A = this chain, B = another copy of it.
Amino acid sequence: LCPMFPEYDVIVVGAGHAGCEAAAAAANMGSRVLLVTMNMQTIAQMSCNPAMGGIAKGQIVREIDAMGGYSGIVSDRSTIQFRMLNRSKGPAMWSPRTQNDRMLFAAVWREMLEQTPNVDFYQDMVKGLLVKDGRVEGVQTGLGHDIKAKAVVLTNGTFLNGVIHIGEKQFGGGRVAEKAATGITEQLVSLGFESDRLKTGTPPRIDGRSLDYSKMTEQKGDDEVVGFSYLPTPRVQPQAQRSCWITYTSPEVHEVLKTGFDRSPMYQGRIQGVGPRYCPSIEDKINRFAERERHQLFVEPEGWNTVEIYVNGFSTSLPESVQFEALRMVPGFENCRMFRPGYAIEYDYFPPTQLRYSLETKLIGNLFFAGQINGTTGYEEAACQGLMAGINAHRKATGQDPLILKRSEAYIGVLIDDLISKGTEEPYRMFTSRAEFRTLLRQDNADLRLTELSYRLGLASQERMDRVLDKKAGVEKVKTMTAELTLEPEEVNGFLEARDSAPLTQKQRVQQLLLRPGITFPDLFRQVPKVAAVFGGFSEETLEQADIQLKYDVYIQKERELVDRMSQMEDLPIPDNFNYDKVHALSAEARQKFGRIRPGTLGQASRISGVTPSDVQILMVYMGR
């Protein structure tokens, strides 16, 4: 064997979002890691939009951060705009989102990885795995090296036999102007894996100097930049943020787009892969929602110092001249110039039902898959799988049990459970609606949920752990103090009036006041001198956390109980010969699937795709619960 490489604990193939998190996690736990990637100049490249987080995805980034992953820190350090989406809804829906400087994002990732001891780098294409007796033992590279490792994590993204489509043109590539990766799919299939094709797409990029922003609506960043990381990472100054703009398509735009349908790779059947339902191309949108007269477009800058613009919502693989003509009819785009056209890409993925909950493959021991290769879409989805695969590759390499997050612990748990138990036939992305316990899985408490777990595994740092303990203690103390501190009517009625809330007639505890809708702790703190005096020593984050815990206590308790009941049920056996046909209350789909799959436990039954919570409750009743 070639002496160029030592035997590694973990080899990670691919330096996208999944691969970077995997390498960092395994290395930080103590594994000696090699990160092999085709081009070291594209480490942590954002293939599509220059943004992180958003609804449900923002929660994932905070979870990654809480566990000691890097995506949150990298995003904070490269933010050009921050917004907390859904602020007007309950805190379970709050979702942080950053717009990022594309080049800076990649540069910071690379810098952080380089500063991680135990991560080695190597630029080469992995074209096969070394497999012996059903276990992976390393990788084989295009330059002909056999590199040994105890565990291997594949994170090939969209590169496996990638084919790019623009109108009637098609050519091989993993991203535009980058080569595709070959060999791995073929070998895995020969080993018994099942693979299939998916597709995704990206919109054209525009010269910002050619746009008329006066015809669009400006969307500024938040006044307060919360950010992702629970560590005190430097964040963008609120007033320094860059704006995005909003504009719309129109029936005329749609008409022009339709003129390209006869040359569309999708409608012509040249693309076989299934595309992301929830991040559809503009041609999909005007087809599926024929009744809609317009679709929203977000016009987003690609960085601090570039005029390149990303047209969010206009993903397309129509012929380039059609893309261009249609864009020119969009308000503000009358004189637009195109830097690069939108395109679609088709690639191989491996249906994730072939994995264990640890993300190890069932067929080949010590081989892990993470990211787009598992049929997901999105940076955050990829990154969190990378983190988990990195953790579990390290644990496998050191003979320890895997870490498996529950659906009630983290969106990450929901995502992996969905993938493993239900599989996916179209690119999977996260939504809040996929989580049944979303009151528990908030963006503000990912650290309280996950940091200790990760710390015990040796991943989250002492600093993180200390901060969590401080936050916990602070919140408890604040909660107790709110039960003790009372306010006289004259101390608070002015404030209450200003907030359209009924005035006090007699003194009341702060805790009681906080239960009122529209009254938040940070607000009270800022407006009422007595409150400010008493709670002066606590951070805004602590006050807000206490506020949420107090306000939503009832809901949180309810969900906790549900979790408990469900987890008791989880292992409740279903008799082998149970006759589902007799249970008429079940939906037809559930009856059929239960009959065919014959789940062994209620838990397993609940996770079958197409089965609704009410089907499960009906089953529960029949099982005598």
A residues near B, CB below 8 A? 2-4, 38-42, 45, 103, 107, 110-111, 114-115, 117, 120-124, 142-145, 166-167, 169, 171, 176-179, 205, 207, 209, 305-308, 320-321, 324-325, 337-341
Contact = CB atoms under 8 A, between A and B. Distances in A.
Contacts of A123: 176-177, 339-340
Given A122-B339, A123-B340, A307 B207 contact: no
B178 A321 contact: no
A588 B287 CA distance: 80
Copies of this chain, count: 2
Contact of A143 (B103, B144, B341): B341
A308 B107 CA distance: 13
Which of A2, A143, A320, A325 has the most chain B CB within a 10 Å cutoff?
A143
B306 A111 contact: yes
B38 A120 contact: no
A218 to B, nearest CB: 21
B177 A340 contact: no
A177 to B, nearest CB: 4
- Interface residues of A, dominant DSSP: mixed
A42 B177 CA distance: 10
A366 to B, nearest CB: 23
6 contacts: A3-B321, A114-B306, A122-B340, A123-B176, A142-B171, A177-B179
CB-CB nearest 8 A-B residue pairs:
A39-B177, A123-B340, A4-B324, A111-B305, A114-B307, A121-B339, A2-B321, A120-B337
A306 B110 contact: yes
A107 B103 contact: yes
Contact of A166 (B41, B107, B143, B207): B143
Contacts of A120: 207, 337
A490 to B, nearest CB: 57
A143 B4 contact: no
Given A114-B308, A142-B171, 15 more contacts: A4-B320, A38-B177, A40-B205, A40-B339, A41-B42, A41-B45, A103-B103, A110-B306, A111-B306, A122-B340, A123-B176, A123-B177, A143-B166, A144-B169, A177-B178
A38 B171 CA distance: 14
Given A143-B320, A325-B3, A41 B305 contact: no
A208 to B, nearest CB: 9
A613 to B, nearest CB: 45
Given A166-B143, A320-B145, A207 B4 contact: no
A3 to B, nearest CB: 7
Contacts of A207: 120-121
A107 B41 CA distance: 13
Contacts of A176: 39, 123
Contacts of A320: 4, 143, 145
B340 A40 contact: yes
Contacts of A121: 207, 339
A143 B318 CA distance: 12
Given A41-B177, A121-B207, A338 B143 contact: no
A311 to B, nearest CB: 15
Which of A145, A177, A338 has the most chain B CB within a 10 Å cutoff?
A177
B339 A4 contact: no
Contacts of A325: 3
A111 B143 CA distance: 36
Which of A107, A207, A308, A324 has the most chain B CB within a 10 Å cutoff?
A107
Contacts of A339: 40, 121-123
Contacts of A3: 321, 324-325
Contacts of A117: 209
A117 to B, nearest CB: 8
A45 B177 CA distance: 14
A338 B4 contact: yes
Contacts of A114: 209, 305-308
A538 B523 CA distance: 60
A13 to B, nearest CB: 15
A115 to B, nearest CB: 8
